[in-house]
Structure 1
Amino acid sequence: MKIAVFSAKRYDRDFLSAANAAQQHQLQFFEVALAPESATLAEGHEAVCVFVNDVVDAAMLEALKRGGTKLVCLRCTGFNNVDLAAAAKLGIKVVRVVDYSPYSVAEHAVALLLAINRSIHRAYNRTRDSNFSLDGLMGFDFHGKTAAVIGTGKIGRVFAKIMRGFGCNVIGYDKYPSPEFEALGAHYAEPGEIGASADIISLHCPLTPETYHIVNAESLSRLKRGALLVNTSRGGLVDAEAAIQALKSGQLGGLALDVYEQEAELFFRDLSSTIVTDDVLQRLMAFPNVIVTGHQAFFTREAISTICETTLQSASEFAEGKPLSNEIKLP
């Protein structure tokens, strides 16, 4: 099967090519994102392989259909960038990577949490300038604190298990409660409990109309003063402007982001020699108690290998007329 791979970085080429040794698809790599101006590159390809910030709306799907594309392969778990209704209407199948290493994202969330709590980023910059002062670097023990997990799927449960290992009291929220989460010694929060008691909040839920800006001015006002917030899920979960105000007032004690609502034009590219004009992001990064990483939580050898293998296996199932194990269907 001919597959056009968009937003392809060097590591995508390397890992997809390695995974393709067992599948023998015809892969054509494009570093540009799938967007209206690049849609013609997909012509003649039965499938496109896209990433989190590629545009797969109704207009794009119609263009892909005209070019002969019958399958959209997402090499990620989230699918909020795809118009599933339009795809179904056009007869285009959509598949994703349902399961890869949950440890990659959960461990990165913990790394960010440790860094923001103990000011590792500030200490690193200081000591490189031979400044070994400890003023302003004080954190708090995780042991005995309360960590809230918003979204208790596989990633959320791994995060919860790690925090339990630190000696935290772990509480959670999920529309669909998990017995496995409770088996860790955690419990689901009562109304108001997260805001009142959580010292740490980590977001691990998908971006849906219900969860859009789940962290907003109103929810931030209910937080325990000085709480730390980590988001390694989707940028749209956090109202960044509201977070800035909460940081300025001290209501939010620290913020660690691996995702950002307006990241599409920023992340996964080197902008070090240009001026970044996103004022909200620039304001966020100006705070000493904020850390931003560029959507790298998933970025481990184990996770990327599984993502690439699963993506190409889905393409093989489609080519062979088999049921699609990882198809996304309308509810």
Structure 2
Amino acid sequence: MKLIDYGVREDERPYIEEWSKENNVEVKIVSDLLNPETIEQAKGFDGVVAYQQLPYEPGIFDKMNEFGIHVLSLRNVGVDNVPFDALKKNDIKLTNVPSYSPTAIAEYSVTGLMILLRSMKSMIRKVDQHNFLWAPDIGRELNELTVGVAGTGRIGQAAIKIYQGFGAKVIAFDKYHNDNIEKQGLYVDTLDQLLKESDVVTLHLPSLGKGNTVINKDSIAGMKDGAIVVNTGRGDLINTQDLYDAVVSEKLSGAVLDVYENEVGIFNSDRSGEVLQDKLLSDMIHNPKIIVSPHIAFYTTTAVKNMATISLDSMVDELNNGKSDNEIDLN
């Protein structure tokens, strides 16, 4: 068995090499992303593993079929950048890593919120300039707030436990109820109700499709004055301009954004010394009430190892048994 792994970062390489040695499976590591040019390197291999934020072009799968490769294993959760029609046309199966570390993302949502509640962004900048005055950067306490968790999958459930540990009142919304959360009586009936009752809204939802935002001008109007939005889910859950305007007008008191609707091509790149052409992103970065980070909520050693190894395990299951627990239904 020979596998080829695309878009591999240096922090992933040791885990892939270790897996290859332990499982006695040859894995070619490629730093380049998977595209119509780099797919040529896959000739002679049995399966393709990849991770990237950019769309997978349909022509890639024509080539995979030509090479006799019929499994693509993703090292991430999201599959919205994969053209299912092209996979089905070429009889290619798809797997993902549905859960690489829910706790990592849940912990990060709380980390960002605490930075915001304690005005750490402003305070750090002041201290860097040798300004040691306390005011006006007085903090707020999480234990006094109501946190609304939108989405109660693995990450949302982990977030609920952490927020409860801080003593916050937690409410939740999800189209599909989790029995444990149901037993605790945390669910509200509608997303609008969650937005209305929450001091903090933390988003742990999948993408709802382009243009289907959860946080926008209309929904913000129904939120509490001074509420905070935390998004470690998907950038397109928010109309970012509407959110920014609400923070500037002080309808909302702040936001924590680890994802951004226009992040592709910007996040995980070094733009040191450059003037950002994305004015909205630049404005948010410079606003003391908005915490922006480059899609790193997942980025822990535990999560990176799981992404690297579970994707390879899924590939082996598909090639040896014709089925993996992590296979995606393309219909």
TM-score normalised per structure 2: 0.92
Q: Is the 8 A contact 1:23 1:313 kept in 2?
A: no
Residues 35 and 55, structure 1, Cα contact 8 Å, conserved in 2:
no
Contact 2:150 2:201 (8 Å CA) reproduced: yes
8 Å contact from structure 2 (residues 156, 204) kept in 1: yes
Structure 1 residues 52, 179: closer, same or farther in 2, change over 3 A?
farther
- 1:11 equivalent in alignment to 2:11: yes
CA distance in 2, matches of 1:284, 1:321: 49
C-alpha spacing 1:329/1:190, structure 2 compared with 1 (3 Å): closer
- Please identify, of 218-227 and 34-43, the stretch whose mean Cα deviation from structure 2 is larger: 34-43
SS class of match (2:296): coil
Structure 1 residue 315 displacement after superposition: 1.4
Match of 1:248 in 2: 248
CA contact under 8 A between 2:36 and 2:60: conserved in structure 1? yes
In 1, Cα distance between equivalents of 2:191 and 2:18: 49
Residues 234-278 of structure 1: per-residue CA shift (max 9 Å, x gap): 111111121122122111211111111222201222221434322
Quick one: which amino acid aligns to residue 235 of structure 1?
G
Secondary structure of the corresponding residue to residue 230 of structure 1: strand
Q: Which residue of 2 aligns with 1:319?
A: 319
Distance 1:282 1:191 in 2: 30
Structure 1 segment 1-331 matched on structure 2, within 5 A:
1-36=1-36, 38-184=38-184, 186-190=186-190, 192-209=192-209, 212-331=212-331
Distance in 2 between residues matched to 1:216 and 1:44, nearest whole Å: 49
Q: CA deviation digits over 1:26-48, x for unaligned, max 9?
A: 22223232244544444443322
Q: Cα RMSD (Å) of the superposition?
A: 2.1
1:22 aligned counterpart, secondary structure = helix
Q: Does the 8 Å CA contact 2:229/2:255 hold for their aligned counterparts?
A: yes
| Cα pair distance change 1:88/1:308, threshold 3 Å | same
Cα distance in 2, alignment partners of residues 196 and 175 from structure 1? 17
CA distance in 2, matches of 1:126, 1:222: 34
SS at match of 2:149: strand
Deviations 1:219-247 (A, max 9, x none): 12211111111111111111112112212
Question: Aligned partners of 1:82, 1:214: CA distance in 2, in Å?
Answer: 23
Asked whether the 8 Å contact 2:117–2:139 carries over to 1, the reply is yes
Report if the CA contact (8 A) 2:3-2:46 is conserved: yes
> CA distance change for structure 1 residues 241 and 61 in 2, over 3 Å: closer, same or farther?
farther
Distance, in Å, in 2 between the alignment partners of 1:169 and 1:52 is: 37
Aligned residues: 331
Q: Does the 8 A contact of 1:228 with 1:252 survive in 2?
A: yes
Q: Distance in 2 between matches of 1:102 and 1:234?
A: 15
C-alpha contact (below 8 Å) 1:34/1:55 kept by paired residues? no
Residue 155 of structure 1: how far off its partner (Å)? 0.7
Amino acid at match of 1:169: K
CA distance in 2, matches of 1:263, 1:66: 33
Secondary structure of the 1:242 match is helix
- TM-score (normalised: structure 1): 0.92
Q: State the alpha-carbon separation in 1 of the partners of residues 68 and 258 from structure 2.
A: 35
Structure 2 letter corresponding to 1:24: N
Contact 1:182 1:188 in 2 (8 A): no
For residues 129 and 222 of structure 1, do their structure 2 counterparts lie closer, same or farther at Cα, with a shift above 3 Å needed?
A: same
CA deviations on 1:258-302 (whole Å, 9 max, x unpaired) are 111222201222221434322221122121111111111111122
The one-letter code sitting in structure 1 at the alignment partner of 2:121 is H
Question: How many Å separate the matches in 1 of 2:210 and 2:10?
Answer: 36
Answer with 138-147 or 94-103: which moved more.
138-147
Give the CA deviation at 1:313.
Answer: 0.6
CA deviation after TM superposition for structure 1 residue 67, in Å: 4.4
Provide the C-alpha distance between the structure 2 equivalents of 1:305 and 1:236, rounded to a whole number of angstroms: 27
Residues 120, 184 of structure 1: alpha-carbon distance in 2 compared, 3 angstrom cutoff: farther
Give the secondary-structure state (helix, strand or coil) at the position aligned to 1:99.
Answer: coil
Q: Answer whether contact 2:75 2:96 (CA < 8 A) is retained.
A: yes
Amino acid at match of 1:153: G
* Structure 2 contact 254–290 (Cα < 8 Å) conserved: yes
- Cα 1:160–1:87 shift into 2, 3 Å: same
Alpha-carbon shift at residue 303 of structure 1 (Å):
1.8
